[in-house]
Amino acid sequence: MKPSEAELRILHVLWNRGPSAVRDVFVQLEKTTGVGYTTILKLLQIMLEKDLVSRDESSRRHVYAAKLTRSEAEDRFVGDLVDSVFNGSKKRLVLQLLDDAKSSQEELDDIRQTILQFEKGGKL
């Protein structure tokens, strides 16, 4: 199941911190979003039902962990984006990114190097 924008923010905390208690996630997100503790708790409970996180109940503090790796999420979202917006065309996605974004010469050089590495059979 696809996470919402708020759920993605929680996943980012879990990816960066590793398994975390609700309070830890709240402290990280409160600074930037102003979201309350009970909202974070409810979102984590929903995410548990969606199978996006797991919950360790062995201690008093329930600890949540992301079940989806950052790489798996990126693959899923980019795939969905390519299919739904660009009609399956990766080329159109890349052209849109290059045309729309103000890329530095350094970033363009990095993209060229990544493409060359990919063509040689290297992993990205």
Which tens digits make up the pLDDT trace of 72-107? 888 888 988 899 999 999 999 988 888 866 778 888
Which tens digits make up the pLDDT trace of 6-45? 999 999 999 999 999 999 999 999 989 989 999 999 999 9
pLDDT of 101 = 67
CATH number at residue 35: 1.10.10.10
Q: What is the 3-state secondary structure (H, E, C) of 88-114?
A: CCHHHHHHHHHHHCCCCHHHHHHHHHH
The rounded distance, in Å, linking the Cα atoms of 124 and 115 is: 9
The answer to whether residue 10 is domain-embedded is: yes
The answer to whether residue 53 is domain-embedded is: yes
pLDDT of 124 = 61
Judging by DSSP bridges, how do beta strands 53-56 and 63-66 pair with one another? antiparallel
Same domain, 75 and 61: no
Which tens digits make up the pLDDT trace of 35-46? 999 999 999 999
The answer to whether residue 21 is domain-embedded is: yes
Which tens digits make up the pLDDT trace of 44-77? 999 999 999 999 988 888 999 999 899 988 888 8
pLDDT of 77 = 86
The rounded distance, in Å, linking the Cα atoms of 26 and 41 is: 8
pLDDT of 38 = 95
Domain count, the chain: 2
The answer to whether residue 23 is domain-embedded is: yes
Same domain, 76 and 55: no
Same domain, 85 and 35: no
**H or E element at residue 39:** helix 37-49
The answer to whether residue 124 is domain-embedded is: no
Q: Which domain holds residue 114?
A: 70-119
Instruction: Choose among 60, 67, 68: nearest CA to 22.
Output: 60
Same domain, 47 and 76: no
pTM of the model: 0.75
